[in-house]
């Protein structure tokens, strides 16, 4: 397993967990909320990478890479699947979840859930999905903005110019921080 890939997605959710936990401990939030927070953050940290499996099975099933993934899935060789995801993810620019439209819908669903329920597991899962996308976007923005533009706006005839990608990220960072505040307040 690629430890840098694990760290890249676990470190932000670990920071969120610690931050929220400190606030919740001070306010004596019930223990079950901490368990739900941890589970939601952990599951959400890697859930979006399922779109690589969708890519292999449905979007581009006729490549050698897809054939290897299909064999590993039939054998339930999850270690090989994870390694294949991490070794080929930069080549996948036409993904379902790693796309601006999904991100907009995710934020809208998150706002609805965060303002209409107090389900800590659901909110932690959604905040973790939002963080996962931001981590991937920030990494590509720093390393190769053109690659970010390609996968973020895949299947779109018009793409946001590279010069505005920083603003795009800024808007979603602010929205995610607002969701984070709602999550913190949800158990108080």
Report the distance separating Cα 179 and Cα 185, nearest Å: 10
User: pLDDT band at 90, cuts 50/70/90?
Assistant: confident
130 versus 2: the higher-pLDDT residue is 130
Tally Cβ neighbours within 10 Å of residue 49: 20
CA dihedral in degrees (136, 56, 58, 95; nearest 10)? 10
On whether the pTM is more than 0.85, the answer is yes
In the chain, where the domains are located: 3-48+97-186
Packing angle of the helix pair 145-152, 165-186 (nearest 10 deg): 70
Write the pLDDT tens digit of every residue in 58-78. 999 999 999 999 999 999 999
Does 1 have pLDDT greater than 60?
Answer: no
The pLDDT score that the predictor gives to residue 126 is 98
Report the distance separating Cα 4 and Cα 85, nearest Å: 14
Give the pair of three-digit tokens for residue 136: 């991937």
φ/ψ of 142, rounded to 5, equals: -75, -40
């Amino acid at each position: 397993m690629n430890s840098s890939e694990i760290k890249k997605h676990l470190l932000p959710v670990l920071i969120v967990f610690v931050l929220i936990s400190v606030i919740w401990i001070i306010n004596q939030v019930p223990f079950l909320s901490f368990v739900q927070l941890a589970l939601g953050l952990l599951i959400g940290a890697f859930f979006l990478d399922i779109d690589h499996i969708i890519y292999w099975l449905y979007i581009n099933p006729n490549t050698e890479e897809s054939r290897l993934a299909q064999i590993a899935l039939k054998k339930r060789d999850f270690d090989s699947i994870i390694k294949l995801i991490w070794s080929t993810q930069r080549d996948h620019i036409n993904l379902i979840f790693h796309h601006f439209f999904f991100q907009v819908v995710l934020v809208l669903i998150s706002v609805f859930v965060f303002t209409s329920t107090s389900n800590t597991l659901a909110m932690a899962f959604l905040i973790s999905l939002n963080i996962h996308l931001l981590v991937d976007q920030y990494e590509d923005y720093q390393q190769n903005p053109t690659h970010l533009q390609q996968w973020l706006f895949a299947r779109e005839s018009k793409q946001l110019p590279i010069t505005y990608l920083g603003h795009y990220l800024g808007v979603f960072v602010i929205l995610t921080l607002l969701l984070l505040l709602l999550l913190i307040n949800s158990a108080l």
